A and B are shown apart, each in its own frame.
Chain A
């Protein structure tokens, strides 16, 4: 019988400081066969950690098309374990389980107008989708990417913006930028209000719960249907397989039934966002 708690070693092959508090790490499984057999869908996450330090869930942020060669995680330094993960160097070993969760059903985006909304480190789970849309692996009718962040220091994946802007409409808005910022200023909801968004748009939101409340209100005001609003949630987790109860909301487990849910599924669940 397989052990659902068994971890596998992964080696750091590249590391890049993405923002003031977040590193982008490229990992390769130590076991070649494990790497070639590895597969995931955008929106799924890994449990990563070290012996004696525990594990934490982190969304995969590379493209599934590279899954048999490597995978990437963008890890924000917010607690003891993520601090240690931020200290990793090329060649270091960490231990993973996964992938876990349902991920995005990308069939729902094909030939549709797609709007991806990221708040802060919520851009991380959206990156596999963005890469695949830009590369033409997910063929949409139109793609808009709205990204709201605190300031220039916390912006993620800056090097990719030029590419993203060529193939999609990228809007970046900062809440508290420096004087040098030439882009838009305000909250993500400002961007939604200002930009042209069709009511047939399929939207994907990833960000802090407080963002969901306000963004969903704006999207519904634009007459976007609840079943076309997709969210990715996060909560405390241990098992990753829908047993330990820590990530439960209403009848669902974020680790197993989510992390991706439609607003239709969540709107009547107390405490979901």
Chain B
């Protein structure tokens, strides 16, 4: 990387850090994690995917929706400081595009989301993201047109930086920081102009018709149903609503759900629809590869591979998808 360009990256991080609460991938105990930074020099600019997902900042693991006091029910107030997500990988921008669609009518998500400046980053030309070994959908040449961001920085040949703006807010910020050379890319929605992705559509059919395949029984035998894959997945967004009645903290909360846990489908009387691990895994795959594409016409899996890395027993989504594609 040229010294000048490296300085420009640090300069951008410093500027943003001075104006926003800043979250970025950082090295922590030999792990790459998204965290609030205390020093702009801590940002990891490798372009690699962190272990955890940005969703934890957009949809916190527990979030109060209402405060109850006697019979009074009051919408929980909260303030969001101007925040920046700095160094968001393209695959994570894809996940963000999905969350924006799913939670478009959710007041709590939207209240938080509109205060967050998204700064994407790749250590290649944006279309170089195909090197990330996509298995859930096809590669898109014009990817930046179909993911949401305010600013995108691509570290291209010889470390040279290429800047893009994806919103008016992004343009103004770049200009105010004295970065005048950038291209503007208008967000054209998450669905490609040519229509829903063909590999995604094919997988939708394959997974949808695979309920009787042995794969699920085989996975059911080794999976511990620990739910770690769901926790790290950038597109696992299921939740429970739960009422708290502590003396000083009464109200309705939303908290992360997990389809691997026993209470996920349990109803009064004790019946559970998802009563085997095999059924739970199949339900998880159907959400990613059937339900999301069916409802939103975008991939429900962004090919980040976090689930495979997090799995204690080595369940690898790429191998399972490849088996399903081969009709196994």
A80: B residues at CB distance < 8 A? 268
Q: Is A2 an interface residue (CB 8 A)?
A: yes
Asked if B287 and A52 make an inter-chain contact with CB atoms under 8 angstroms apart, the answer reads no
Contacts of B257 in A (CB 8 A): 238, 244-246
CA distance in complex: A95, B294 (Å): 33
* B216 CB to nearest chain A CB (Å): 10
For A235, list chain B residues within 8 Å (CB).
265, 267, 273
Whether a CB of chain B sits under 8 angstroms from the CB of A236 is: yes
Query: By the criterion CB–CB under 8 Å, are B238 and A244 in contact?
Result: yes
Binds B, one of A4-12, A99-107, A199-207: A4-12
- B241 lies within 8 A of A239 (CB): yes
Given contacts A3-B75, A54-B242, contact A246 B208 (CB under 8 A): no
Contact residues on B (Cβ < 8 Å of other chain), bracket? 35 or more
**A236 partner, pick from B212, B267, B279, beta carbons under 8 A:** B267
Q: How far is the CB of A244 from chain B (nearest CB, A)?
A: 5
Contact of A238 with B268 at beta-carbon distance under 8 Å, contacts A51-B250, A250-B208 already known: no
- Which residues, 226 to 271 on B, are CB-close (under 8 Å) to A? 237-245, 250-252, 254, 257, 259, 264-269
- Closest Cβ neighbor of A8 among chain B residues: B73
Q: Is the CB of B268 within 8 A of A82?
A: yes
Of the residues B241, B268, B294, contact of A55 by C-beta under 8 Å = B241
The contact string, 1 if C-beta is below 8 Å from chain A, for chain B 275-313, is 000010011001100110011000000000000000000
What residues of chain B lie closer than 8 Å to A93, measured between beta carbons? 71
Residue of B nearest to A76 (CB): B268
Set of chain B residues within 8 Å of A239, measured between Cβ atoms? 239, 241
Chain B contacts of A241 at CB under 8 A? 105
Contact-residue size bin, chain A (C-beta under 8 Å from the other chain): 35 or more
CB pair A51–B68 under 8 Å, yes or no, is yes
- How many angstroms from the CA of A78 to the CA of B257 in the assembled complex? 23
Residues of A within 8 A of B238 (CB): 244-246
Asked whether any CB of chain B lies closer than 8 Å to the CB of A242, the reply is: yes
With beta carbons under 8 angstroms apart, the residue of B71, B208, B241 that contacts A238 is: B241
Tell which of A49, A243, A245 has the most Cβ of chain B within 10 Å: A245
Chain A residue at smallest Cβ distance from B258: A245
Interface status of B110 (Cβ within 8 A of chain A): yes
Note all chain A residues with C-beta closer than 8 A to B107: 1-4
Residues of chain B within 8 A (CB-CB) of A246 are 238, 240, 257, 264-265
A53-91 CB mask vs B (1 if < 8 Å, else 0) is: 111100000000000000000000011111000000000
Contact in complex: A250, B66 (CB < 8 Å): no
Given contacts A51-B73, A251-B208, contact A245 B287 (CB under 8 A): yes
Q: In whole Å, how far is A23's beta carbon from the nearest beta carbon of chain B?
A: 16
State which residues 107-150 of A face B: CB under 8 Å.
Answer: none
B211 at the interface (CB under 8 A from A): yes
Given known A-B contacts A244-B239, A270-B212, A236 and B265 have beta carbons under 8 A apart: yes
Complex Cα distance, B242 from A75, in Å, reads 21
Interface string of A213-247 (1 = CB under 8 A from B): 00000000000000000000001101101111110
Chain A interface main SS type: loop
Chain B residues closer than 8 Å to A183, beta-carbon distance: none
> What's the minimum C-beta distance from A258 to chain B, rounded to whole angstroms?
13
Please tell me if the beta carbons of B265 and A5 are within 8 angstroms of each other in the complex.
no
Looking at the assembled complex, report how far the CB atom of B225 sits from the nearest CB atom of chain A, in whole angstroms. Answer: 16
With both beta carbons as reference points, the residue of chain A lying nearest to B245 in the complex is identified as A52
Q: Which B residue's beta carbon lies closest to that of A271?
A: B273
Which B residues are in CB contact (< 8 Å) with A5? 65-66, 241, 252, 254
B157 CB to closest chain A CB (Å) equals 43
B3 interface residue (CB < 8 Å to A): no
Among B75, B106, B212, B294, contact of A243 (Cβ-Cβ < 8 Å): B106
Q: Which of A3, A49, A52, A246 neighbours the largest number of chain B CB atoms within 10 Å of its CB? A: A246
Residues of A near B208 (CB, < 8 A) are 250-251
Check if B103 is an interface residue, CB within 8 A of chain A: yes
List, in ascending order, chain B residues with CB within 8 A of A2's CB.
Answer: 105, 107
- State the CA gap A51–B66 with chains docked (Å): 9
A79 to B263, CA, bound (A): 14
Query: Which chain A residue shows the least CB distance to B69?
Result: A51
Q: Does B102 contact A (CB under 8 A)?
A: yes
Residue contact A238 to B240, C-beta cutoff 8 Å: yes
Interface positions, chain A 1-54, Cβ under 8 Å from B, are: 1-7, 49, 51-54
A-B contacts, 24 of them at CB < 8 A, read A4-B105, A51-B66, A51-B68, A51-B73, A51-B243, A51-B252, A52-B68, A53-B243, A54-B243, A54-B252, A79-B267, A93-B71, A236-B266, A243-B239, A244-B238, A244-B240, A244-B241, A244-B257, A246-B240, A246-B265, A250-B290, A251-B208, A251-B290, A252-B291
Chain B residues with CB under 8 Å of chain A are 65-66, 68, 71, 73, 75, 102-103, 105-107, 110, 208-209, 211-212, 237-245, 250-252, 254, 257, 259, 264-269, 273, 279, 282-283, 286-287, 290-291, 294-295
